[in-house]
Structure 1
């Protein structure tokens, strides 16, 4: 048992209900949402404890519920964390990321930090040869970044600033931006190791002083913020050019976003929040990883029995995902 109340213990194996499959879990990631659940804060406050954590399990289909083809047993798959309701207007328009009634693995229902987990077939995707750890690292981070670029309608040659570029989402955003033919600038507190070729770098320093690190003439068509810092997003929005778009994919650090309303209005800016992805974006994202177009760095791997070390590694400075091998 860790100091924060997380423990490893035996529980009954779940039985897949109608429309569900049982995954024999191979890997699952450590995510900020896990910490929110533990602390009972933010989106994690929706969890009813005790709750098995783990939003992004990858594994092998071991059993199926009523109405599911048994031929799926043995398939190598990964689960999308966000489970849309399937009935609302947004789901009907294939905009599953905007479903207001979506649930999340490891929050509203037990997640995948366990030997077996039951999940709806609707959020299960074939891995097509991707290793389990790679699929776990990619299934949420890559699609959510694709959603951000889709929302910003990024065009070839546009100037894209990625803030929080040293993190997992930021590193993915650099690859996606290059893939789309954008001119990409990475902004991070410290130099980003393994920066992709052709990406310009801005080091903001420990105080994340973006405004002080850019040239007076620097302007961008699109900001993709993956930092979760409202203060940094405030600075980044101020660097948008005419008709600029800012999309933020995280909001875990602070909430005090400040905008110059007059400038925002007169310069025709747009601000968009992205918190999950559509089914199509998951399919596209996994394929980009399979093709080697997008890299999702993995920093550390731990066995499930050493979950306390996994959370300690997540809290420490790192460049990559923390994976739990189940």
Structure 2
């Protein structure tokens, strides 16, 4: 091991102690980690609060395999202070942000550099200790150099922008002038998707339950229910949209987005909440040659590409509310606000 790791020290961390939702989270003192082989130790500055955290707190989805107690936090950003054996070069002092999903590196998808589709991937802050703590030990490959990018912006970007980029590609080519609908457009992934659509020259419809939905070069739709969403989008795009990307994760919204598709329209679902039931018109899906695609995570090269887009200003992730580590309960509660704008960020340091 290289560097001054806080071996034997106690650190503050947000720990999940029971599958009781946010009530199962405690900010307490735990032993600080040391980096293992091929790992780096990050002194954390910021970390996000995410829907995946809420699912983990309830033991749902990937959270069903969560070992308790567990330090939460999937997307920490901070400074490398130590590294384990096998890490190339000296990364101490490097400013980094962490890609949450860790691929196995051995399956057919990983060998093709399609790590987002690795069936054996694990997640920082879900299957192993995360970054809602003063220190986090993570695979060196998952720690991306951010140069002088602000830690808060890096945390807001590392999960949302690559996922939006991957989801767009999963949905097929989005040509300039194509009709593109984003639901949940004021959330972290939704905001990134809107900006990516605008970047490629699509006709973007940004839809949200928040009245704050807006944006230069896009058409904003504020809806208060599925029927309202369909009516307003169809008014803007009578022939339907070419591509819809749902980032809300709500079944009723996903069903409405399906009704907004045009001929050979594609719907990409890249989020999942507790409202999971979806109503599908199978006849319309079949006759109109439409497709529904699930997309999660991102390939490693897409994370690098997304961070470059953020660094150049082509995409600017929205930061919504900010909290301190002692306010983790309030941070997680803020995720459930469907009128929320941007990423909920927790400042650890």
TM-score (norm 1): 0.94
Aligned to 1:209: 228
How far apart are the structure 1 equivalents of 2:204 and 2:81?
43
Out of 304, 311, 325, the residue aligned to residue 283 of structure 1 is: 304
Aligned to 2:133: 114
Aligned to 2:321: 300
Seen in structure 2, the aligned counterparts of structure 1 residues 325 and 214 have a Cα distance that, compared at 3 Å, is: closer
Is 2:303 the partner of 1:318?
A: no
Matches within 5 A, 1:1-326: 4-152=23-171, 153-193=173-213, 195-205=214-224, 209-215=228-234, 217-316=238-337, 317-326=339-348
- How far apart are 1:310 and its partner, in Å? 2.1
Encode CA deviations 1:187-226: one digit per residue, 9 max, x unaligned: 2223334x22221122222566322334462511000111
Q: Mean alpha-carbon deviation: is it higher for 162-171 or for 36-45?
A: 36-45
- How far apart are 1:260 and its partner, in Å? 2.2
Query: Would you say the 8 A contact 1:85–1:91 is kept in 2?
Result: yes
Query: Would you say the 8 A contact 1:189–1:207 is kept in 2?
Result: no
Which residues of structure 2 form unaligned runs of 5+? 1-13, 15-20
Encode CA deviations 1:48-67: one digit per residue, 9 max, x unaligned: 11000000010111111111
How far apart are the structure 1 equivalents of 2:97 and 2:22?
30
- How far apart are 1:42 and its partner, in Å? 2.7
Encode CA deviations 1:244-303: one digit per residue, 9 max, x unaligned: 111011111422222222322222211111110001110111111111111211122222
Seen in structure 2, the aligned counterparts of structure 1 residues 223 and 94 have a Cα distance that, compared at 3 Å, is: same
- How far apart are 1:319 and its partner, in Å? 0.8
- How far apart are 1:15 and its partner, in Å? 1.5
Query: Would you say the 8 A contact 2:42–2:82 is kept in 1?
Result: yes
How far apart are the structure 1 equivalents of 2:169 and 2:225?
31
Query: Would you say the 8 A contact 1:189–1:208 is kept in 2?
Result: no
TM-score (norm 2): 0.88
Q: Mean alpha-carbon deviation: is it higher for 290-299 or for 184-193?
A: 184-193
Query: Would you say the 8 A contact 2:180–2:244 is kept in 1?
Result: yes
Query: Would you say the 8 A contact 2:226–2:253 is kept in 1?
Result: no
Encode CA deviations 1:101-160: one digit per residue, 9 max, x unaligned: 000011100000111111011111110211111101100000000011111221111100
How far apart are the structure 2 equivalents of 1:311 and 1:81?
18
Query: Would you say the 8 A contact 1:64–1:70 is kept in 2?
Result: no
Aligned to 2:3: none
How far apart are the structure 2 equivalents of 1:133 and 1:311?
17
Seen in structure 2, the aligned counterparts of structure 1 residues 5 and 190 have a Cα distance that, compared at 3 Å, is: closer
Q: Give the paired residue count.
A: 325
Encode CA deviations 1:50-88: one digit per residue, 9 max, x unaligned: 000000010111111111135211100011000000000
Query: Would you say the 8 A contact 1:79–1:124 is kept in 2?
Result: yes
Q: Secondary structure at the match of 2:242?
A: strand
Seen in structure 2, the aligned counterparts of structure 1 residues 3 and 203 have a Cα distance that, compared at 3 Å, is: closer
How far apart are the structure 2 equivalents of 1:74 and 1:208?
52
- How far apart are 1:305 and its partner, in Å? 2.2
Q: Secondary structure at the match of 2:25?
A: coil
